[in-house]
């Protein structure tokens, strides 16, 4: 590692983002958005559907196939006020798939808007024969444990949540959900239920784009990282050292690890689609490095691990081989764990060759990640985007960053 990021002043990663540059609605066509091109310091732009023309044929793109759930629910209380529940992550059962498929009561870690008004800690809502009841249990730092139970129909919790809840749009959109959000705030390849925010770099891809990638011989691989509400958490501390990075669940299939290893052996560039895919990819490296010293270590990457354990560094291919051997020993085809990895200037990329990503908020860990990849050129990229009428944040335009 070149340096530790703890002493980074977050104010050094600020820029003026006019309100009118925040995209409040998606572009008319997914792949009709703008695409900024950053290649070895050169900057230009095109239309997103032209992306395959700017990737070498041997490139491997890594996508996050998580699906945004209807995590936001509103309950009208007996006193006439409304509370808002935002489901963050499952607690009982802890496994996402088991929780969503459960027909018995479940418990979730939730944010509660209007909690002080909720004196009884119990609320219900009904639609026809189906009734959903919630009970507030214990406080969990800035969140709560909430129990969900339902009656009137033999449905899974996933079905109940889809029925009563809505997709949680990013807070900076500052508007109510519209019918188009149901489709457009979701990637076309979303598969694994669990996110409260979309992996927005993937929103631009269409079947046309995929066909063009296939025609160019560009491989597509998928991982799962369930995006938590922490992705919108601003860095409020003066330096990065005092910022608590959010933890997110990760799942990677054995076949994906094997294909990533093949790509390394062949010298192919691996380009994550979005910051969540990039954090997953780099977390895989550090898990493989950890296994070199602790063969039975669980898959968990702490926020500062890469900066504090430089002696763990090993060749990237060796790291992936270590994971595959560990999976063989455990007779597993799916790697499951969690990451809290913070990628900031001073971080040295291990598996990442480039990045496809949207334009991020000032003073955010996402902007730090971009700066870790392309250095101080992040300022040139963002100045170019502002000067050429790019649209910012979740529903905004995209960029291809190739250092």
Q: What are 118-171's pLDDT values in tens digits?
A: 999 999 999 999 999 999 999 998 899 999 999 988 899 999 999 999 999 999
Rounded alpha-carbon distances, angstroms, from residue 148 to 38, 160, 310: 47, 10, 44
Write down the pLDDT at residue 191. Answer: 96
- Please provide the average confidence, as pLDDT, over all residues in the chain: 94
Q: Which residues of the chain have pLDDT under 50?
A: 1
Alpha-carbon distance of 130 to 126, in angstroms, equals 6
Contact (Cβ atoms closer than 8 angstroms) between residue 216 and residue 291: no
Contact (Cβ atoms closer than 8 angstroms) between residue 259 and residue 60: yes
Cis peptide bond prior to 60, omega within 30° of 0: no
What is the residue-wise DSSP string for 4-70? -GGG-BGGGG-----GGGB-SS--SSGGGSEEEEEETTEEEEEEGGGGGGGS-TT-EEEEE-EEE--
Contact (Cβ atoms closer than 8 angstroms) between residue 219 and residue 264: no
DSSP state of 213: H
Q: What is the pLDDT of residues 87-101, one digit of tens each?
A: 999 999 999 999 999
Write down the pLDDT at residue 212. Answer: 97
Write down the pLDDT at residue 229. Answer: 74
Alpha-carbon distance of 357 to 82, in angstroms, equals 36
Burial class (CB in 10 A: 0-12, 13-18, 19+), 16: exposed
Write down the pLDDT at residue 237. Answer: 86
Write down the pLDDT at residue 156. Answer: 96
Contact (Cβ atoms closer than 8 angstroms) between residue 165 and residue 130: no
CA dihedral 186, 258, 54, 67 (to 10 degrees): 0
Q: For 399, list phi and psi in degrees, rounded to 5.
A: -145, 150
Contact (Cβ atoms closer than 8 angstroms) between residue 243 and residue 368: no
Q: State pTM to two decimals.
A: 0.94
Contact (Cβ atoms closer than 8 angstroms) between residue 39 and residue 355: no
Contact (Cβ atoms closer than 8 angstroms) between residue 336 and residue 299: yes
Q: What is the pLDDT of residues 289-336, one digit of tens each?
A: 999 999 999 999 999 998 887 667 899 999 999 999 999 999 999 999
Write down the pLDDT at residue 1. Answer: 43
Tell me the chain's radius of gyration from C-alpha atoms: 21
Rounded alpha-carbon distances, angstroms, from residue 376 to 41, 74, 401: 10, 43, 13
Q: For 287, list phi and psi in degrees, rounded to 5.
A: -70, -45
The three-point CA angle 98-104-109 to 5° equals 65
Write down the pLDDT at residue 308. Answer: 83
Write down the pLDDT at residue 231. Answer: 66
Alpha-carbon distance of 299 to 66, in angstroms, equals 19
């Amino acid at each position: 590692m070149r340096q530790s990021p703890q002493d980074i002043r977050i104010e050094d990663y600020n820029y003026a983002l006019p309100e009118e540059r925040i995209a409040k609605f998606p572009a008319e066509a997914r792949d009709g958005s703008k695409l900024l091109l950053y290649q070895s310091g050169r900057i230009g732009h095109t239309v997103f559907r032209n992306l395959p023309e700017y990737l070498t044929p041997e490139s491997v793109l890594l996508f996050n196939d998580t699906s945004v759930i209807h995590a936001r629910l509103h309950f009208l209380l007996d006193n006439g006020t409304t509370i808002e529940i935002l489901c963050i992550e499952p607690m009982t059962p802890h496994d996402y798939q088991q929780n969503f498929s459960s027909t018995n009561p479940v418990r979730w870690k939730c944010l509660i808007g209007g909690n002080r008004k909720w004196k009884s800690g119990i609320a219900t809502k009904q639609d026809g024969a189906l009734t959903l009841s919630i009970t507030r249990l214990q406080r969990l730092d800035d969140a709560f444990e909430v129990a969900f139970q339902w009656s009137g129909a033999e449905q899974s919790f996933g079905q109940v949540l889809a029925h009563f809840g809505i997709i949680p749009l990013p807070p900076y959109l500052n508007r109510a959900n519209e019918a188009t959000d149901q489709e457009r705030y979701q990637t076309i390849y979303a598969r694994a239920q669990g996110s409260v925010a979309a992996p927005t770099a993937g929103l631009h891809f269409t079947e046309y784009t995929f066909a063009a990638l296939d025609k160019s011989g560009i491989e597509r691989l998928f991982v799962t990282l369930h995006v938590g509400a922490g992705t919108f958490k601003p860095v409020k501390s003066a330096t990065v050292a005092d910022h608590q990075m959010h933890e997110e669940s990760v799942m990677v299939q054995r076949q994906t690890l094997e294909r990533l290893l093949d790509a390394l052996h062949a010298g192919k560039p691996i380009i994550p689609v979005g910051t969540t895919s990039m954090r997953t990819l780099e977390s895989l490296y550090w898990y493989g490095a950890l296994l070199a010293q602790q063969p039975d270590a669980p898959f968990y990457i702490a926020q500062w691990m890469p900066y504090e354990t430089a002696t763990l560094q090993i060749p990237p291919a060796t790291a992936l081989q270590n994971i595959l051997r560990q999976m063989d020993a455990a007779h597993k085809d799916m790697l499951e764990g969690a990451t809290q990895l913070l990628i900031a200037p001073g971080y040295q990329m291990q598996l990442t060759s480039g990045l496809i990503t949207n334009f991020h908020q000032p003073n955010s860990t996402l902007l730090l990640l971009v700066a870790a990849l392309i250095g101080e050129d992040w300022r040139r990229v963002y100045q170019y985007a502002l000067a050429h009428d790019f649209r910012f944040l979740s529903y905004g335009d995209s960029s291809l960053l190739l250092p």
